[in-house]
Amino acid sequence: DGRSYPVRALKSLTPADLEGIGLVFLCVSKESIPTVLQQLAALKPAHAGLLIDTPVLRFKHLRHARHLRAFRTVSVAEDCSTLPWLDVVRASIAAGDIGELRSAVFSQSAWAYHGVAMAKAVLGSGRVRSGRRRKHGGEFASRRLVVGGKEALFLEPRDYANGRLAIVGTKGVISDYPMKAHGALRLESIIESGACLGFRVGTHEVRLDEAEASLMQEVPEAASATALMEAAKPVGFLRLLRALHAGEPGYPLADGLDDMIIDYHLEKVGRYAANPFTSSRSPMGRLLMGTGPLYRSAVPFRNQSCGNGSSAALNRRSASSGSGRTWPNKTSKPPLRWGPRKA
């Protein structure tokens, strides 16, 4: 927007610089995350929440997740979980317009761990049971996930300009492209004077507020929800920030880690199955992945407000409060340890 902001090198910061800071937003290259997390943890930010960009950590860097304990709360900046068209789709499903929800098809309209998060948001479940990826020559491939008993199918490569989305139920389907099938409903973008002002499915309509609409300007007339993905993601991020500011839960750390782990397995071995060895939530999985110290608390994983305060961003964006993981306190049980039993 033409404005300039003073920026300081991370290595020049001291614990005093973080006093009064309610939320730190970490958005750096994937390879830099371990080093930056270690430097931030050294500043003793126990009073601050952390909002960390996807994919949280790369699989090979999971041992560095221990540095996340330094923050009061942690949540993930997964904007695909709060895309603006999700509200109207959920309203249509809740009204029974397509019957019982069965599956979702993302044809060149989702990518990697973001696709996992989007599938969970559309299908209304936070747990992926299994997955498989098949190659079809060149850059073409397909993924299939079982999400809470429902299915999500992905066709690669991602191409938002030509991608499509379909959400299938027992009585009909919601799609962002024309379909002649019985019970088909169109997910339409409401575009006026080159600005996207909301989305519509049948008789359901959701309008963006002024700030959200300002992020979806100069869009093509009649553009689909998929074609507007790059413009919709900043709206999703704004909604995440607003939720954190209001003390509401952000995208959970466990979900962010699992999304990355699922994507890693599909890319490397073509398969994923949720079990004690592959889930960041299980004691065995946490031990193998080096994330055990994050989950010392006997209290199950949950999101809690960390209150309001001033803000700081370590890149382009900022917010004023945090929400996410509540770390162990002095009454927490110690982590499980492996080793021979003492005589």
- 155-165 pLDDT, tens digit per residue, is 999 999 999 99
CA-wise closest residue to 117 among 249, 244, 251: 251
Q: Rounded to 5 degrees, what angle do the CA atoms 149, 151, 152 make?
A: 140
CA-wise closest residue to 97 among 4, 7, 16, 167: 167
Q: Which one-letter DSSP state was computed for residue 293?
A: G
Cβ(84)–Cβ(236) below 8 Å = yes
Cβ(79)–Cβ(233) below 8 Å = yes
Q: Output the pTM of the full model.
A: 0.83
Report the C-alpha gap between 300 and 303 in whole angstroms. 10
pLDDT tens digit sequence for 301-327: 233 323 333 333 333 333 333 333 333
Sign of the alpha-carbon dihedral angle for 180, 184, 185, 187: negative
Out of 159-163, 239-243, 297-301, least confident range: 297-301
Average pLDDT, the chain: 85
Most confident by average pLDDT, 8-17, 203-212, 302-311, 320-329 = 203-212
pLDDT of residue 251: 95
Cα distance between the two ends of the chain? 68
pLDDT of residue 1: 66
Average pLDDT over residues 29-50: 95
**Residue 325: φ, ψ to 5°:** -65, 135
Report the C-alpha gap between 102 and 85 in whole angstroms. 19
Report the C-alpha gap between 143 and 267 in whole angstroms. 10
Cβ(172)–Cβ(185) below 8 Å = yes
Structure tokens at 37: 């997390």
Q: What percent of the chain has pLDDT over 70?
A: 83
pLDDT of residue 308: 31
**Residue 256: φ, ψ to 5°:** -60, -45
pLDDT of residue 148: 93
Q: Alpha carbon of 273 to those of 131, 149, 213, 332: distances in Å?
A: 6, 13, 40, 30
Average pLDDT over residues 162-187: 96
Please tell me the number of Cα atoms within 13 Å of 41 on its side-chain side. Answer: 14
Cβ(139)–Cβ(150) below 8 Å = no
